[in-house]
Amino acid sequence: MAIRPIVRFPDPRLRQKAEPVDDIDEDARALARDLTETMHAAPGIGITAPHIGILRRLVVIQLESDREPHIYFNPDVVWSSSDIIRHVEGSISMPGVTDELERHARVRVRYRDLDGAEHEEEAEGLMAVCLQHEIDQLDGIFWIDRLSKLKRDRLIKRFEKLQRIRD
């Protein structure tokens, strides 16, 4: 296992659509382990392969209450509730800034596991938010794209200022 470098905003790979993982073989499982270790080191609660520059449909999520990470190959939202919740979001590719977004309160996701078996899972609350956030990333939608132009521009300026301070 290895901690991989995280792609930082505004890298164009963060807005590219990821390709499906065709074979869930040892290489794919090793990538999932690396993603998990990278997410823990960031630290974060969710990560995708595009976050480390690999344009493949792989998501790892581990909430504070989870004993083990959830690993999703080729996840897609197949249903979402009509009720909406607001949640503060951010990204390991844009550390130090967050903003509130609206998401569906519940979703059902179809995906493949580490053995290649297909599953459907329903999630609500924070897990539903994380799944939508990370699947957006796989679809080339960076989280700030869901903000109004005004909020997005302010957030980018705040992030750029933080980057200048860190450099």
What was the pLDDT predicted at 29? Answer: 98
Annotated domain spans of the chain = 12-166
* Pairing status of strand 106-112 against strand 70-80: antiparallel
What CATH code is assigned to 12-166? 3.90.45.10
pLDDT-based confidence at residue 167 (cuts at 50, 70, 90)? low
Over residues 113-161, the pLDDT tens digits come to: 999 999 999 999 999 999 999 999 999 999 999 999 999 999 999 999 9
Over residues 17-39, the pLDDT tens digits come to: 999 999 999 999 999 999 999 99
Provide the percentage of residues in the chain whose pLDDT is more than 70. Answer: 99
Buried b (16+ CB within 10 A) or exposed e, 140-149: bbbbbebbee
What was the pLDDT predicted at 165? Answer: 87
Residues forming beta bridges with residue 120, ordered by sequence position: 110
What was the pLDDT predicted at 8? Answer: 96
User: What stretches of the chain show up as alpha helix (H) in DSSP?
Assistant: 26-41, 125-138, 149-166
Section 65-78 average pLDDT: 97
* Residue 4: closest CA among 46, 29, 36: 36
CA 1 from centroid of its chain's CA atoms: 20
Residue 134 is a catalytic residue:
yes
Cα-based angle 36, 91, 151 (whole degrees, multiple of 5): 170
What was the pLDDT predicted at 66? Answer: 95
Cα dihedral: 97, 66, 21, 121 (round 10): -110
Catalytic residue among 89, 100, 120, 134: 134
What was the pLDDT predicted at 166? Answer: 75
Alpha-carbon distance of 81 to 79, in angstroms, equals 7
Alpha-carbon distance values, 115 to 12, 96, 109, 120, 159 (Å): 31, 36, 17, 15, 39
Section 110-115 average pLDDT: 98
How does the average pLDDT of the chain come out, rounded? 97
Residues forming beta bridges with residue 106, ordered by sequence position: 124
pTM over 0.85: yes
